[in-house]
């Protein structure tokens, strides 16, 4: 039997899980369970690089794990756990930090943005090294993420190549996997920036557990343009194009057929139909969010961590040997 290729991805437990996370990442995580050996992580150590409240953090970790499960990740088929439960991530991050240049880290867009907003700290600077460690620890082949992670994936590939060259050929070079549409879902309030957990404007994003009425309200207030014709045109009509993509993803209909139907319907009617499709598409996720108890989440995460610690320990043997440890 040929071994299945491995996939790894992670999400920070920073609250406000939105449909951008779902479309850019979780949906792919779910579909990859069919053909790959999947490992998914709630990357709590990463989330500690910006200021946070420890009590709220505890529940955010559980909520994020619940969102991943409610999106359809099946803990029977995929390995799911909290990053901090497996110390090998931090161990490998240390090893990789010794072959990563500070200049390259200082040039990361996310570091520049976050350090301007949240202040500098060493963890924020070395954030991409920990991410590289997450991925390389399991020698994975593919990483399903939204396109905002492109630069981090490039750094991971550089670090893997450097390690293989400097020591022994240990790591495969991982590929980034992004969806064809929806790799970058835009804010409903500013179609030129990505929908984000940390945007202070709540109307900018649709949360996974938003009720249909809330979805309708947010879509109705989405920023569009002063024209009245529905067209798929990112140059002239970014807001409408973003809604068309969401409508298409959640209804399963092509963008062309939606444009044909709604071209002259007026933005009001188009928005109502789009909101209904989003609410309907999200209904099963929302229902599952309401039914998965904290206790179930904790059990699943503890069981996942136990398996992962063993797997990670096995993987670390060749890595430690390559660098002259162990």
Of the candidates 194, 218, 237, 271, the residue annotated as catalytic is: 194
Residue of 114, 141, 152, 218 that binds ligand LTN (CB under 6 A):
152
Q: Is there binding between residue 70 and ligand ATP (CB under 6 A)?
A: no
Which positions from 176 to 195 touch ligand ATP by CB under 6 A, shown as an x/- string?
-------xxx--------xx
Q: How many residues bind ligand ATP (CB under 6 A)?
A: 19
Of the candidates 5, 139, 197, 203, the residue annotated as catalytic is: 197
Cα dihedral 227/268/284/60 (nearest 10): 70
Phi and psi at residue 137, to the nearest 5°: -50, -45
Q: What is the 3-state secondary structure (H, E, C) of 70-101?
A: HCCCCCCCCEEEEHHHCCHHHHHHHHHHCCCC
Which positions from 121 to 150 touch ligand ATP by CB under 6 A, shown as an x/- string?
------------------------xx-xx-
Structure token pair of residue 72: 């359809």
238 in Cβ contact with 194 (< 8 Å): no
In our burial notation (b when 16+ CB lie closer than 10 A, e otherwise), range 53-64 reads eeeeeeebbbbb
- To the query of whether residue 5 is one of the catalytic residues in this protein, the response is no
Cross-strand partners of 65? none
d(CA 242, CA 320): 46
Which positions from 41 to 80 touch ligand LTN by CB under 6 A, shown as an x/- string?
--x--x----------------------------------
- To the query of whether residue 114 is one of the catalytic residues in this protein, the response is yes
Q: Is there binding between residue 242 and ligand ATP (CB under 6 A)?
A: no
Burial environment of residue 144 by CB neighbours within 10 A (0 to 12, 13 to 18, 19 or more) = buried
Q: How far is the CB of 108 from ligand LTN (least distance, A)?
A: 10
Which positions from 145 to 164 touch ligand ATP by CB under 6 A, shown as an x/- string?
xx-xx---------------
Residue of 196, 224, 241, 242 that binds ligand ATP (CB under 6 A):
196
- To the query of whether residue 197 is one of the catalytic residues in this protein, the response is yes
Q: How far is the CB of 145 from ligand ATP (least distance, A)?
A: 4
**Residue 141 interacting partner from ligand LTN, ligand ATP, none (CB closer than 5 to 8 Å by kind):** none
d(CA 291, CA 66): 10
Q: Residue number with the shortest CB distance to ligand ATP?
A: 24
Closer to ligand LTN by Cβ: residue 130 or 240? 130
Residue of 12, 33, 63, 189 that binds ligand LTN (CB under 6 A):
12
Q: How far is the CB of 148 from ligand LTN (least distance, A)?
A: 7
* Residues numbered 94-133 forming contacts with ligand LTN, rule: CB under 6 A: 131
**Residue 281 interacting partner from ligand ATP, ligand LTN, none (CB closer than 5 to 8 Å by kind):** none
Three-state DSSP state, 9: strand
CA distances (Å), origin 57, targets 13, 45, 60, 310: 8, 11, 5, 26
Structure token pair of residue 257: 């057929």
d(CA 26, CA 244): 20
d(CA 115, CA 132): 20
Structure token pair of residue 29: 């995580």
Q: Which positions touch ligand LTN (CB under 6 A)?
A: 8-10, 12, 43, 46, 131, 134-135, 143, 145, 149, 152
Active-site residues, by number, are 114, 194, 197
């Amino acid at each position: 039997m040929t071994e299945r290729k491995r996939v790894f991805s992670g999400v920070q437990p920073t609250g406000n899980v939105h449909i951008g996370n779902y479309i850019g990442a979780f949906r792919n995580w779910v579909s990859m369970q069919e053909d790959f050996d999947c490992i998914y992580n709630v990357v709590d150590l990463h989330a500690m690089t910006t200021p946070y409240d420890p009590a709220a953090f505890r529940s955010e970790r559980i909520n994020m794990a619940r969102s991943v499960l409610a999106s359809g990740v099946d803990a029977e088929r995929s390995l799911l756990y909290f990053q901090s439960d497996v110390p090998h991530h931090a161990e490998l991050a240390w090893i990789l930090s010794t072959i990563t240049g500070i200049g390259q880290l200082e040039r990361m867009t996310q570091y520049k943005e976050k350090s301007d907003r949240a202040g500098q700290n060493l963890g924020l600077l070395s954030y991409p090294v920990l991410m590289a460690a997450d991925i390389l620890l399991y020698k994975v082949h593919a990483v399903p993420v939204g396109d905002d992670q492109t630069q981090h994936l490039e750094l991971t590939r550089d670090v893997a190549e450097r390690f293989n060259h400097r020591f022994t050929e240990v790591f495969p070079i991982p590929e980034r996997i992004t969806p064809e549409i929806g790799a970058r879902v835009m804010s409903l309030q500013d179609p030129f920036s990505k929908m984000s957990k940390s945007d202070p404007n709540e109307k900018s994003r649709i949360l996974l557990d938003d009720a249909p009425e809330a979805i309708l309200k947010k879509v109705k207030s989405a920023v569009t343009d002063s024209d009245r014709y529905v067209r798929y045109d990112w140059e002239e009509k970014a807001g409408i194009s973003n809604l068309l993509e969401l409508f298409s993803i959640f209804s399963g209909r092509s963008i062309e057929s939606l444009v044909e139907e709604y071209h002259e319907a007026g933005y009001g009617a188009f928005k109502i139909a789009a909101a209904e499709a989003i609410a309907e598409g999200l209904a099963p996720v929302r229902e599952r969010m309401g039914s998965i108890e904290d206790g179930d989440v904790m059990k699943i995460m503890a069981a996942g961590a136990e398996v992962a610690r063993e797997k990670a320990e096995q993987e670390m043997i060749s890595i430690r040997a390559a660098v002259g440890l162990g």
